[in-house]
A = this chain, B = another copy of it.
Amino acid sequence: MTKIKAYSAKESGADLKPFEIERRALKDTDVKIDILFCGVCHSDLHQVQNDWKNSKYPVVPGHEIIGKVLEVGDKVSNFKEGDMVGVGCMVDSCHECSACKDDMEQFCEKGATFTYNSPDKHLGGHTFGGYSESVVVDEQFVLTVPGNLKPEAAAPLLCAGITTYSPLAHWGVKEGDKVGVIGLGGLGHMGIKFANAMGANVVMITTSPGKSEDAEKLGADEVIISKEEDQMKKHRGTFDFLLNTIPVGHDANPYLQLLKRDATMVLVGAVEPLKAVNGSNLIMGRKKMAGSLIGGIKETQEMLDFCGEHDVVSEIELIKMQDINTAYDRLQKSDVKYRFVIDMKSLKES
């Protein structure tokens, strides 16, 4: 076991402060990673605030981890010292259930071990995330980061990236499809980039006229202001796919009306109750509303390889570990374009 520096919230809603945690000694199949960058996901804030009523304190958030391999266990075959690697939302799963066998560890029937706030099988207590100097992870949950990607901008791929890539890939978005991305935040901006890289005709759907220019810079071919009924009406029944990244409960009916016959809208943000969905918005046109949660490890590697091939990374604002509480305040107000990433040097040098 090694004691290392980290940042944690000691109780619900508390400011994050320096905190010392332990990392396990390297096992045969483990990779020890020197954390260089860690993205700030909105769920970090939810966990700190105990919004989902399952937080365990102290919370050490962070599941968009990029780092360099420091050391590998004797049986590790895919990684060596110095490799640029990533760790996302999960660090372990049962490996035996049908979800794990189907490479969808995020739905592990015994419960995946999430990168933070999950029961720690090795040390007891709960897992601690990437707001820390280093991490020890079984190689099956370590990802290879393509060399051409800027590591700091690649960090958010590990959660925001796979969360948006997975549904676009699973539902087979392809060249020429008309794809709507609803909501322009950390998830939405990745949705635009991926859909664009897949060759789709990408439409940003937002409540904020002020976001049009940015959306187009990110790769949107068109922007719909969802409050403008005329615009929504004009596009009714024309979308092959909708990626709904709205992070809170909302009225999904106007969006369902945008779908073509047999098309699907996938929720990736709102884990909360949606306003009443009219059955007729699904029945008329045999439409589908679905959900999607991050992605499995195999698919996360595919996503990273896709990013390497298509030069896709996140738009980020690099911050110091010491600025995390200000960053959370700004995140609450959606004042970030589009993802904070912590330069972890700042923690080590503190």
Q: Which residues of A contact B (CB under 8 A)?
A: 98-99, 104, 107, 109, 170, 237, 249, 261, 264, 267-293
Chain B residues with CB under 8 A of A277: 273-274, 277, 289
Cross-chain contact A279 with B104 (CB below 8 angstroms): no
Most B-side CB within 10 Å, residue of A277, A279, A288:
A279
Cross-chain contact A249 with B279 (CB below 8 angstroms): yes
3 closest residue pairs by CB, A with B: A282-B291, A283-B291, A273-B276
Q: Which of B109, B170, B261, B273 contacts A279 (CB 8 A)?
A: B273
* Closest beta carbon of chain B to A121's beta carbon, Å: 22
11 contacts between A and B (CB under 8 A): A99-B261, A104-B261, A107-B285, A249-B279, A267-B283, A271-B280, A272-B280, A277-B277, A283-B292, A283-B293, A286-B292
Question: Considering the chains assembled together, what is the distance between the CA atoms of A271 and B278 in angstroms?
Answer: 6
Cross-chain contact B293 with A286 (CB below 8 angstroms): yes
**Which DSSP category, helix, strand, loop or mixed, fits chain A's interface?**
loop
Q: Considering the complex, give the chain B residue whose CB is closest to the CB of A163.
A: B283
Question: Considering the chains assembled together, what is the distance between the CA atoms of A237 and B291 in angstroms?
Answer: 15
* Closest beta carbon of chain B to A290's beta carbon, Å: 4
Question: Considering the chains assembled together, what is the distance between the CA atoms of A170 and B283 in angstroms?
Answer: 14
Chain B residues with CB under 8 A of A109: 237
* Closest beta carbon of chain B to A280's beta carbon, Å: 4
* Closest beta carbon of chain B to A170's beta carbon, Å: 8
Question: Considering the chains assembled together, what is the distance between the CA atoms of A290 and B286 in angstroms?
Answer: 6
Q: Which of B261, B270, B273, B289 contacts A288 (CB 8 A)?
A: B289
Cross-chain contact A274 with B273 (CB below 8 angstroms): no
Cross-chain contact B287 with A290 (CB below 8 angstroms): yes
Q: Considering the complex, give the chain B residue whose CB is closest to the CB of A285.
A: B107
Q: A104-B261, A261-B104, A290-B288 are in contact. Are A278 and B272 (CB under 8 A)?
A: yes
Cross-chain contact B276 with A249 (CB below 8 angstroms): yes
Q: Which of B99, B276, B282, B293 contacts A289 (CB 8 A)?
A: B282
Question: Considering the chains assembled together, what is the distance between the CA atoms of A268 and B280 in angstroms?
Answer: 9
Question: Considering the chains assembled together, what is the distance between the CA atoms of A284 and B270 in angstroms?
Answer: 11
Cross-chain contact B287 with A279 (CB below 8 angstroms): no
Cross-chain contact A276 with B278 (CB below 8 angstroms): no
Cross-chain contact B279 with A270 (CB below 8 angstroms): yes
Chain B residues with CB under 8 A of A280: 271-272, 291
Cross-chain contact B283 with A268 (CB below 8 angstroms): yes
Question: Considering the chains assembled together, what is the distance between the CA atoms of A276 and B99 in angstroms?
Answer: 28
Question: Considering the chains assembled together, what is the distance between the CA atoms of A282 and B288 in angstroms?
Answer: 11
Excluding A268-B283, A272-B279, A283-B291, 11 further A-B contacts by CB distance (< 8 Å) are A107-B284, A107-B286, A272-B278, A273-B278, A273-B279, A280-B291, A282-B291, A284-B293, A285-B291, A287-B290, A288-B290
